[in-house]
């Protein structure tokens, strides 16, 4: 299976708000599989469509408990706070401490186009939130303190 090209900051596609999917097509189903394959190849635990240059609300994740494939994911419940260091395939060699919700409930369309609800906590909740951030153009560097963020952005452009 083809390994997709992972886009890296500062490419513009990573800052665009993605378009919702109207329904799951055969192409979307195949894309989910290619995204998972690419994610595994790069040893990631999540991947969003804009990271491979596609402005669609599609994400995949796998923390070792089985693959999650979601279109149009949205968080409908949150509780608790957790802080942990995160990395990102689109922001290589940068680790950032990020505060996120510890437990979430996410709604979206699964691989078959059915509306599903996923209850997640801990690492899976963190990964889903990270990938959902990508769909609105938000990256882990946006969680850096102001001056560190500016410094990173300036250096990344050269």
DSSP 85-124: EE--TTSTT--EEEEEEEEEEEEEE-TTS-EEEEEEEHHH
CA–CA separation, 64 and 74 (whole Å) = 22
Phi/psi for 59 (5° steps) reads: -135, 155
Residue 11 CA to residue 52 CA, distance in Å, equals: 11
Is 131 an annotated catalytic residue?
Answer: yes
State the catalytic residue, choosing from 2, 83, 131, 148: 131
- Please list the active-site residues: 131
């Amino acid at each position: 299976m083809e390994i997709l090209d992972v886009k890296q900051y500062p490419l513009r596609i990573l800052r665009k708000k993605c378009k919702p999917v109207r329904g799951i097509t055969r192409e979307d189903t195949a894309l989910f599989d290619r995204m998972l394959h690419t994610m595994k190849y790069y040893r990631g635990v999540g991947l969003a469509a804009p990271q491979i240059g596609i402005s669609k609300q599609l994400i995949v994740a796998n923390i070792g408990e089985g693959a999650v494939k979601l279109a149009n994911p949205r968080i409908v419940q949150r509780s608790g706070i957790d802080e942990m260091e995160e990395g990102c395939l689109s922001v290589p060699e940068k680790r950032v401490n990020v505060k996120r919700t510890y437990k979430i409930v996410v709604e979206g369309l699964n691989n078959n186009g059915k509306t599903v609800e996923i209850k997640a906590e801990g690492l899976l909740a963190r990964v889903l939130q990270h990938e959902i951030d990508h769909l609105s153009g938000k990256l882990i560097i946006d969680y850096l303190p102001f001056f560190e963020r500016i410094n990173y952005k300036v250096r990344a452009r050269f």
